[in-house]
Structure 1
Amino acid sequence: MTLSIEIVDGVTQIPAEAWNTLAKGMPLLSHAFLSALESSGSVGAGTGWQPCPLLLYDDAQLIAAMPLYIKYHSYGEYVFDWAWAEAYERHGLSYYPKLVAAIPFTPVTSSRILTNDADHKVLMVNALSQVMQQNEMSSAHVLFPDDDTETVFKAAGWMQRHGVQFRWQNLSYTDFEHFLSQLSHDKRKKIKQERKKVRDSGIVCSVIEGAQITAQQWDFFYQCYEQTYREHRSTPYLTRAFFATIGRTMPQHIVLMLAYLDGQPIAAALNLYDETTLYGRYWGALQYVPNLHFELCYYQAQIFCIEQKIKYFEGGAQGEHKLARGFVARPTTSFHSVANPNFATAIKDFIIQESTGVAAYVNELDERAPYK
């Protein structure tokens, strides 16, 4: 056995079968998804996301991998460290570039070290630290790791930061009415009123699975996606080519919800999914209709989960309004290693104080849970 660590210029440099064997069917970690980001220009030169996946080989066999990026800013991460970067700048130091192990633009909890072997995980953590030090990076960050990944970084002494997201669980509901029956009276009444207002406005919703999405529908979706960023005076992270690519290479994991008014599409929501989980991702509307966001992004997706017997619906970052739609709060974590010892101490103190506030916030959210 000859083990070796390598870094390459992107997932596109790795055979799809070798990567997917380690990713174990998680669509957002798949070779198709990550390579589409690269080939479409959504990450790479000029984006501030430079792919550099970390790989462990046994001779010529890939046995472990980490989706890793050199970052030149902090956009698209959903774990906010702008204050850390500003503190570096105030002291005449450079916070960027830094290393980030994550799925770009995707606040979804999943594995960040793609292997089941505990010893290989330790090797990968040590290798990540060495890459940071040898290349004189300010820091390394592991965003939204699952429990198994969390265990190995915690054991290695990395700083653990806590956050909150919202998830809906399908408790073997027979239909949407069955789900509503489990909510408190006020929440159930509110959802019914919202859905009635949408129907009364003339909206008709359509659910289209990946292989059936036409080029025209993809174009319309991208218009909606761009509109969301324009409303926030920002620029889309993802290119039209990215969506064309995943539509071609992983349609079995895609579902598009469209809203029509007077026969014309006016809004769209795109989700990815697998056998167990639906991941709410992208939304936009060309015309405002009250409550349409809730109908298209939440209720239509919940109905889809019930019909397909999908257990979880990950609602993504932020949004206390999700509580009223049947979601519940759940903790997330990230891990951080900071090269400068003085900044490491200050950031550790900040994280400890922040964690107290996050714990209190989670308790408050639990008290507002929407179920009976």
Structure 2
Amino acid sequence: MPEIRLHRQLSEIPAAAWDALHDGTHPFIAHAFLHGLEATGCLRPDWGWTPCHLGLWEGDRLIAAAPGYLKDNTHGEFVFDHAWAQAYARHGLDYYPKWLCAVPYSPVTGPRLLARDAAARTALLEAMQALVVQAGLSSAHVNFHAATDDAAFGDAWLLREDTQFHWTNPRGWQDFDGFLAAFDHKHRKNIRQERRKVADAGITSRIVHGNEASDDDLAAMHGFYLRTFADYGNAPALTLDFLHHLARTMPRQLVLVLAERAGATIAGALCLRGGDTLYGRYWGATELHPGLHFETCYYQGIAYCLREGLARFEPGAQGQHKLARGFLPTPVRSRHWIADARFADALRGWCREERAHVRARRQALWAHAPFRPEPAA
């Protein structure tokens, strides 16, 4: 039987051992990314993030692992379970702490059950349940797991779904003009007008990878990030040291879109690049211009994917306005194991109703897709 170990910081696990459990195409699950969050002050227990990574070992050989955190709130999760916590409280029970398998602050689908084979993956899920029981926790949660992990979860793991808006290239577009030609007239005209307004304002865009970004570029991007969080009254978690860490340890996976006007950098979007996917994460600006957000966060990212041959662009959570710009409704999922059988039974029906509502809404959104029908073969 493999030995279950809890790791209170990712540095306890050698990077080579961790990264051998995934194919390297998802930057958010890389040891460098997750360890960087811990090492550069992005995770704080008072914000609800206490590292508690799960590892299955056969002697000195890591055979399975999961990024894990003890949570006493839902800060930075993007899968909301406030109603569940309130239900526990009404019955005089504690919902927190819970154990969460996820990438902090990142509603990005990817591998969560890192394992050498199917048997190790099953053992990892069993270890999650054992952890909850032995530690007296309410539950275990696996957020934004890949669809390929669906079969690993048994019926005891409740399924929740949500919808994000993702860009893909099913028609093999070679450039932005080809992509735009697939739109109906109204939506194509709107996008051209948005892009023209940005150009008429004298704004140009520059894209740099981590190894191409100067200290000024990184500082500007972090400043934009801080400004956006301040505008919305939220507490920023990512530090400038973390951006420097990404630029140093993931030099070609960090992608910055920088907008410039009159010799100054006025806006930026921070993205990460995977094997075939661009992930948009944060944006900010010191000047507001019509169309600037769409150009920086969406159109430049699509153009980058087309140039680089990437198949997908995930620009972040929420945002129905993305639909009109070519990002289509896409399901995302999470799994939840509830220790108390009574609550598990009650929440099973709740999740079933939620899924039905989410799927119906997603289907309705498809009716507003901006593309012309694809010509018949």
TM-score class normalised by the smaller sequence:
over 0.9
Where 2:160 maps in the other structure, the secondary structure is: strand
Question: What's the counterpart of residue 67 of structure 2?
Answer: 67
8 A Cα contact 1:44 1:51, kept in partner: no
Which residue identity does 2:199 align to in structure 1?
R
Question: What's the counterpart of residue 239 of structure 1?
Answer: 239
Which residue identity does 1:33 align to in structure 2?
F
Rounded Cα–Cα distance in structure 2 between residues aligned with 1:59 and 1:304: 45
Where 2:65 maps in the other structure, the secondary structure is: strand
Question: What's the counterpart of residue 158 of structure 2?
Answer: 159
Question: What's the counterpart of residue 354 of structure 1?
Answer: 354
8 A Cα contact 2:47 2:75, kept in partner: no
Rounded Cα–Cα distance in structure 2 between residues aligned with 1:271 and 1:30: 15
Rounded Cα–Cα distance in structure 1 between residues aligned with 2:316 and 2:356: 22
Task: Output the aligned Cα RMSD.
Answer: 1.3
Rounded Cα–Cα distance in structure 2 between residues aligned with 1:256 and 1:54: 32
| Alignment partner of 1:3 is 2:7 | no
Which residue identity does 1:159 align to in structure 2?
L
Where 2:361 maps in the other structure, the secondary structure is: helix
Q: 1:135: how far off? A: 0.5
* Bigger Cα displacement from structure 2, 141-150 vs 30-39: 141-150
Rounded Cα–Cα distance in structure 1 between residues aligned with 2:300 and 2:100: 34
Where 1:22 maps in the other structure, the secondary structure is: coil
Stretches of structure 2 lacking an aligned partner (at least 5 in a row): 373-377
Where 2:345 maps in the other structure, the secondary structure is: helix
Question: What's the counterpart of residue 219 of structure 2?
Answer: 219
| Alignment partner of 1:184 is 2:199 | no
Which residue identity does 1:209 align to in structure 2?
H
Rounded Cα–Cα distance in structure 2 between residues aligned with 1:149 and 1:12: 26
Q: Structure 1 residue runs of 4+, over 4 Å off?
A: none
Rounded Cα–Cα distance in structure 2 between residues aligned with 1:44 and 1:149: 29
Which residue identity does 2:28 align to in structure 1?
L
Paired residues for 1:90-109 under 5 Å: 90-109=90-109
Which residue identity does 1:323 align to in structure 2?
L
Q: 1:89: how far off? A: 2.4
Rounded Cα–Cα distance in structure 2 between residues aligned with 1:266 and 1:98: 41
Paired residues for 1:1-372 under 5 Å: 3-25=2-24, 26-153=26-153, 155-170=154-169, 171-372=171-372
Which residue identity does 2:163 align to in structure 1?
V
Q: 1:196: how far off? A: 0.4
Rounded Cα–Cα distance in structure 1 between residues aligned with 2:202 and 2:128: 54
Q: 1:239: how far off? A: 1.7
Equivalent pairs, count? 370
* Bigger Cα displacement from structure 2, 182-191 vs 167-176: 167-176
Where 1:75 maps in the other structure, the secondary structure is: coil
8 A Cα contact 2:221 2:268, kept in partner: yes
Where 1:259 maps in the other structure, the secondary structure is: strand
Rounded Cα–Cα distance in structure 2 between residues aligned with 1:286 and 1:44: 28
- Per-residue CA deviations over 1:266-299 (Å, capped at 9, x if unaligned) read 1110100023010111111112111111000000
Q: 1:23: how far off? A: 2.4
Q: 1:354: how far off? A: 1.0
Where 1:337 maps in the other structure, the secondary structure is: strand
Q: 1:116: how far off? A: 4.5
Rounded Cα–Cα distance in structure 2 between residues aligned with 1:56 and 1:185: 55
Which residue identity does 2:140 align to in structure 1?
A
8 A Cα contact 2:297 2:315, kept in partner: no
What's the TM-score, normalizing by structure 2? Answer: 0.95
Which residue identity does 2:20 align to in structure 1?
T
Rounded Cα–Cα distance in structure 2 between residues aligned with 1:198 and 1:3: 57
Rounded Cα–Cα distance in structure 2 between residues aligned with 1:90 and 1:232: 31
Rounded Cα–Cα distance in structure 1 between residues aligned with 2:180 and 2:116: 39
8 A Cα contact 2:69 2:101, kept in partner: yes
Q: 1:104: how far off? A: 0.7
Rounded Cα–Cα distance in structure 2 between residues aligned with 1:143 and 1:95: 17
* Bigger Cα displacement from structure 2, 85-94 vs 141-150: 85-94
- Per-residue CA deviations over 1:296-317 (Å, capped at 9, x if unaligned) read 0000011111111111101221
Which residue identity does 1:223 align to in structure 2?
G
Rounded Cα–Cα distance in structure 2 between residues aligned with 1:143 and 1:98: 13
Percentage identity across aligned positions? 41
Rounded Cα–Cα distance in structure 2 between residues aligned with 1:156 and 1:9: 30
Stretches of structure 1 lacking an aligned partner (at least 5 in a row): none
* Bigger Cα displacement from structure 2, 173-182 vs 347-356: 347-356
